[in-house]
Amino acid sequence: MATRIRLQRHGKKGYAFFHIVVADSRAPRDGKFIEKLGYYNPNTNPATIEINFDRALYWLNVGAQPTETAERILSYKGVLYKKHLLRGVQKGVLTEEQAEKKFQEWLNAKLAKIEAKKQKLAKESEEQKSARLKHEAEIRQKRESKKTAASSSETAENSPSAE
């Protein structure tokens, strides 16, 4: 049986999220599947990806072929890199310790990059919020100055003038 690692669409129109599943290649997109590996939510920034790393690695090792999008997700999470390193261990190029060390270095760099993006997004959000508040304060100040100018001109017109 030819198996594929692919996405299964869920959610409402215009706001989809996906389950990452292993399914027979002949099964329909949202139909019968063998195992659910995790989920992918592209609606958040950065996208939320939760995956069972060990099971995904197992399915890749037994021959499951990922679709293009699933392959990108697996690559992002490091499953394909881990498979690559384990293949090097099998060939005798690396030891298990070297492979694990390389993977941990890569994983730490990846997590730092993701954290930097989250901090950048939070900072931009704060800057936009402060800019909006500053703009609203300016508008409020203009309105109040117009009110005081209008009320002072009204009082000047209503007061009896000495002629």
Condensed to tens digits (0 to 9), the pLDDT of residues 105-144 reads 999 999 999 899 999 999 999 999 999 999 999 999 988 8
pLDDT, residue 159, reads: 67
* Contacts within 8 Å (CB) and 24+ apart, 147-154: none
With respect to residue 156, please indicate whether it lies within any of the assigned structural domains. Answer: no
Condensed to tens digits (0 to 9), the pLDDT of residues 82-106 reads 999 999 999 988 899 999 999 999 9
Q: How many domains does the chain have?
A: 2
pLDDT, residue 161, reads: 56
Is 40 in the same domain as 79? yes
- Residue 74's Cβ-count burial label (10 Å; 0-12, 13-18, 19+) is buried
Are residues 73 and 82 in contact, defined by beta-carbon separation less than 8 angstroms? Answer: no
- The edge-to-edge listing of strands for the beta sheet with 65-66 is 48-51, 35-41, 15-24, 3-12, 65-66
With respect to residue 162, please indicate whether it lies within any of the assigned structural domains. Answer: no
How is residue 16 written in tokens?
Answer: 């989809």
pTM: 0.75
CA angle 76, 56, 107 (to 5 degrees): 35
With respect to residue 155, please indicate whether it lies within any of the assigned structural domains. Answer: no
Provide the mean pLDDT of the chain: 90
With respect to residue 11, please indicate whether it lies within any of the assigned structural domains. Answer: yes
pLDDT, residue 148, reads: 85
For residue 137, what are the domain limits? 95-148
Condensed to tens digits (0 to 9), the pLDDT of residues 30-72 reads 888 999 999 999 998 888 999 999 999 999 999 999 999 999 9
CA distance 61 to 87: 10
Is 27 in the same domain as 89? yes
In this predicted structure, the answer to whether residue 156 has a pLDDT above a threshold of 90 is no
Based on its alpha-carbon atoms, the radius of gyration of the chain, rounded to whole angstroms, reads 29
Are residues 46 and 25 in contact, defined by beta-carbon separation less than 8 angstroms? Answer: no
With respect to residue 76, please indicate whether it lies within any of the assigned structural domains. Answer: yes
Q: How far is CA 39 from the centre of its chain?
A: 12
CATH number of the domain residue 73 falls in: 3.30.1320.10
Condensed to tens digits (0 to 9), the pLDDT of residues 140-152 reads 998 888 888 888 7
